[in-house]
Amino acid sequence: MVRIQNVKLDSWFSTVGVFACLVFAGRLAVADPPDTWFGQHTQPQQRRDLQLHASASCSATACHGGPRAGVTATGAVRGSEYPLWLSSDPHARSWRTLCSDKSVAILNRLEILKNGHIADQAGFDNCLACHNSTQHFQESRTTERITEGIGCSSCHGPDQLWHAAHLERDWSPSAQLASGFAQTKNLLSRARLCASCHVGDRDRDMNHDIIAAGHPALHYEFATYQRRQPKHWRSGKTPKEDDEAYAWLVGQLASLDAFLTLLESRARTSHRESQWPELAVFDCSSCHQQLTNETYQLPARTNSSPTLSNWHRFGVQKFLNWRSQQPTFSSTDQELLEALMDLERTVKSPTVDALTAQQAAQRARRALDRWITGRDGQLALSSFDAEKLHEMVSAAGMDQSASSSWEAAAQFYLASITAREKWSDLSHQPNRGETVLETSRRLREALQFQGNSATPKNRFGDFGDNAINAPGPQSVRAHWQSLQKTISIDQVEGPR
């Protein structure tokens, strides 16, 4: 068993009975003040001035520890949130993931661990931020902490001030935020809270050094992740929660904000983990190009500098490009689109310095905030549905940039299948829906990596684990073009 100072790397199950109500302390500094809508709604997750209780403190039968939901069809039953989380939610196992042999090897490579003890406290805290409810283990403590993984307070906020108040009927949203309770019933807020770990944030950074040490790269797509998540909440409490197209757009906006926040933070000279230029902000394929069997040399570079990662920008940019052809296209749409294009140009420059990159990210984040809080953005969000997403994907498919990289092609695939309920409308030809399904399956297989894949799983069934061996870019491009043609509105309905 590996020991990290006074903390055993062990399963939480061995300690839950003894330390069920242990208070997690050690939250040291207050996070930066909220400066945007997203910043305000992620504040509870980042507060260090409040203590939190272990998830077992929520497990009483009269609270959230009632009869567990069915095993074969997991779903929330009122009061069963805790046993459902414990038995079915992968977040409950995140500490065990950090304790695995592979993770310990990563910690050793990064010299966070030396001889089984913490050698880099800041680096270890960076890992804890997304693998444990406690974000800091003080070295001076001798009491073992509950190793519960990502528990209730990790997502709902540290509960020192709201543990009793959340039972009150007249508890207002403003009072909830003030007491450190996260607004998870707001889907936009929920998606951004998830992105704090699955993309990164000011206080947590899964940077290139960690990827190089063996941690999988992060490819977060909220609609896919939420559909695969075993629900410990009841449907119908969150507006448009079951609208996958809406969840897709909300997730793209949240992912973009997290990316911009992290980029801005990484470019600050005071950031504890990263130094500029931080290679994790670029598309991996800019440097990690495929070796050819004939020469075993890298192919000729098409440009002199790496390309800014497109994963977190693709959806919003394609959405804004589609809106630019609509009569509702507004000045805030234009401002955000231009800010994202300026960010790409700025960061791509070989001579860009940290301050310039930080300012470009900040401008884009401010433009995103004005879009989200403005009237035009609110209307665009509330009216977005599968039909509009299908139109957007069809328009995006006419642009070759949608298959210019693995990131772009993968995001195009995920957006396409999110609008799959419109495939049933492709009835002008026999078995059209089945054709689209088969075409999308082939593209998905072409996008998979060999062996263990770090890409998001599809959301409407398992196509199997056998990936195509070493698919080349031509294979991906061919499958992409085939899918684009089969879902194209013009192909089905003819020119409008």
Report the domain count for the chain.
Answer: 3
CA distance linking residue 56 with residue 475, whole number of Å: 50
My answer on whether 426 and 314 are in the same domain is no
- Look at residue 216 and tell me if it is in a domain: yes
Residue 176 domain flag:
no
Q: What percent of the chain lies above the pLDDT cut of 90?
A: 28
Query: Which of 97, 124, 158 is the endpoint of a domain?
Result: 158
Tokens encoding 456: 């998001």
The top-scoring range by mean pLDDT among 30-34, 57-61, 159-163, 270-274 is: 159-163
pLDDT tens string 21-80: 333 333 333 344 456 777 777 776 767 777 777 787 787 777 887 776 554 445 556 677
The answer to whether position 458 is within a domain reads: yes
Same domain assignment for residues 230 and 379: yes
Instruction: Note whether 307 and 454 are same-domain residues.
Output: no
Question: Cβ of 394: how many Cβ atoms within 10 Å?
Answer: 21
Q: Which of 158, 192, 222 is the last residue of a domain?
A: 158
Predicted pLDDT of residue 137: 55
pLDDT in tens, 303-329: 567 888 989 999 999 999 999 999 999
Chain segment 366-377, per-residue pLDDT in tens: 999 999 999 999
CA distances 227 to 57, 71, 91, 315, 419, Å, are: 27, 17, 15, 18, 14
How do residues 175-202 score in pLDDT, each as one tens digit?
Answer: 888 888 888 888 998 999 999 999 998 8
For residues 253 and 373, membership in a common domain is answered with: yes
Which position has the token pair 């192909």? 491
Indicate whether this model's pTM tops 0.85.
no
Q: Which residues form the domain of 443?
A: 385-496
Indicate if 129 and 256 belong to the same structural domain: no
Of 384, 410, 426, the residue that ends a domain is 384
Mean pLDDT of 156-165: 83
Residue 166 lies in a domain: no
Q: Which amino acid is at 83?
A: P
Residues 298 and 407 in one domain: no
Return the pLDDT at 143: 36
Task: State the pLDDT at residue 7.
Answer: 37
Say whether 236 sits in a helix, a strand or coil: coil
**Confidence band, pLDDT 50/70/90 cuts, at residue 291:** very low
Kindly state whether residue 118 falls inside one of the protein's structural domains: yes
Q: How many other C-beta atoms are found inside a 10 Å radius of the C-beta of residue 204?
A: 22
pLDDT at 3: 39
d(CA 425, CA 36): 40
* 164 inside domain: no
In a domain, 110, yes or no: yes
Instruction: Decide if 165 is inside a domain.
Output: no
Same domain, residue pair 211 and 321: yes
Same domain for 363 and 459, yes or no, is no
**Between 173 and 26, the higher pLDDT residue:** 173
Q: Are residues 415 and 377 in the same domain?
A: no
**How many whole angstroms separate alpha carbon 323 and alpha carbon 380?**
9
Q: Are residues 229 and 92 in the same domain?
A: no
For residue 259, the model assigns a pLDDT of 95
Do 272 and 244 fall into the same domain? yes
| 486 and 467 within one domain | yes
Query: What does the pLDDT average to over 93-111?
Result: 92
Please state whether 157 falls in left (phi above 0), alpha (psi between -120 and 50) or beta.
Answer: left
> Bigger pLDDT: 11 or 41?
41
